[in-house]
């Protein structure tokens, strides 16, 4: 694992000394390399070990904030019981055994059924495209088709979904997601900060949906963009493998700070 760049190293050293630390991370493309089939994703062993050990430290909380539905996130990430979970871009949360499950209103459930029908019709006409159902949304996946086919399918789905008042559409990497609940990873970070009483936050993510989380970070926080693309994050690493090195170094620094 590579050593973090000097500026990031200095930021991690300062972050590690905060009183109560929250380490919140996206999963796909951050803890796990991107894969063609979502069910095949697994966290890099070094990253998983670092998150597990950070969660065991005093005054240190860990969380996964993902676009995945919670069931999917649990299946691929195998998080520790101490790790807090936010799925479906913030529509689903798990903050402990007493956490309330997501409940849609009858109106939201009816709207979701129409959104699912709209995306299914696009998928039916696009061999290689795939639909994913979530508790509050539906996703068009286009990773397995050519760029021109993906563009056409995405435009068609966006047009169909735009006819449904109350459906919120979000772009991601080779996905178009529709939700009947308006929320974001930024709201997820803010909720977790309040829940844990964190005095500083590290957030790492790779997708355009993670920009909402970077946007709510405060001066004492550290945001890390994984991979290319325009970002509001102050720091960048090239890959999930480099992110493993960042987490290992934060673990070393935080362990020394709280001992």
Whole-angstrom distance, CA of residue 64 vs CA of residue 79: 8
For residue 203, report the phi and psi dihedrals to the nearest 5 degrees: -125, 130
Q: Give the model confidence (pLDDT) of 108-140 as tens digits.
A: 999 999 999 999 999 999 999 999 998 889 999
Whole-angstrom distance, CA of residue 247 vs CA of residue 244: 5
Q: Which of the four pLDDT bands, split at 50, 70 and 90, describes residue 3?
A: confident
Whole-angstrom distance, CA of residue 91 vs CA of residue 93: 7
Q: Angle 204-144-76 (CA atoms, 0-180°, nearest 5)? A: 45
Q: Which of the four pLDDT bands, split at 50, 70 and 90, describes residue 1?
A: low
The DSSP code for 32 is B
Q: What is the pLDDT of residue 201?
A: 98
6-100+184-258 and 106-179, same CATH topology: no
Q: Exposed, middle or buried, 165 (CB in 10 Å: 0-12/13-18/19+)?
A: exposed
Q: Over the Cα atoms of the chain, what is R_g?
A: 18
Whole-angstrom distance, CA of residue 225 vs CA of residue 208: 10
Q: What is the pLDDT of residue 104?
A: 87
- What mean pLDDT comes out for the span 152-166? 95
Domain ranges of the chain: 6-100+184-258, 106-179
Q: Is 39 a catalytic residue?
A: no
Position 22 pLDDT exceeds 90: yes
Q: What is the pLDDT of residue 32?
A: 97
Q: Could you tell me which CATH class the domain 6-100+184-258 is placed in?
A: alpha beta
Fold for 106-179, please state it.
Alpha-Beta Plaits (3.30.70)
Q: Which one of the listed residues 19, 26, 40, 210 is annotated catalytic?
A: 26
């Amino acid at each position: 694992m590579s050593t973090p760049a000097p500026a990031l190293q200095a930021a991690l050293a300062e972050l590690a000394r905060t009183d109560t630390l929250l380490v919140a991370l996206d999963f796909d493309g951050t803890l796990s390399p991107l894969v063609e089939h979502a069910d095949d994703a697994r966290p890099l062993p070094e990253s998983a070990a670092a998150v597990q050990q950070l969660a065991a430290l005093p005054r240190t909380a860990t969380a996964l904030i993902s676009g995945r539905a919670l069931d999917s996130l649990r299946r691929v990430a195998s998080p520790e019981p101490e790790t807090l979970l936010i799925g479906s871009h913030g529509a689903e949360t798990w903050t402990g055994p007493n956490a309330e499950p997501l409940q849609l209103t009858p109106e939201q459930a009816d709207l979701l059924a129409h959104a699912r029908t709209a995306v299914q019709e696009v998928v039916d006409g696009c061999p290689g495209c795939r639909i994913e159902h979530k508790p509050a949304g539906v996703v068009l996946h286009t990773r397995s088709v050519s760029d021109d086919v993906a563009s056409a399918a995405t435009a068609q789905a966006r047009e169909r979904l735009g006819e449904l008042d109350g459906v919120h559409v979000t772009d991601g990497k080779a996905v178009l997601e529709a939700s009947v609940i308006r929320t974001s990873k930024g709201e997820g970070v803010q909720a977790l900060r309040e829940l844990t009483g964190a005095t500083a936050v590290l957030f790492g993510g790779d997708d355009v949906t993670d920009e909402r989380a970077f946007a709510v970070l405060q001066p004492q926080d550290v945001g890390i963009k994984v991979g290319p693309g325009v970002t509001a994050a102050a720091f960048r690493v090239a890959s999930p493998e480099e992110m493993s090195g960042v987490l290992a170094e934060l673990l070393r620094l935080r362990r020394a700070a709280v001992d």
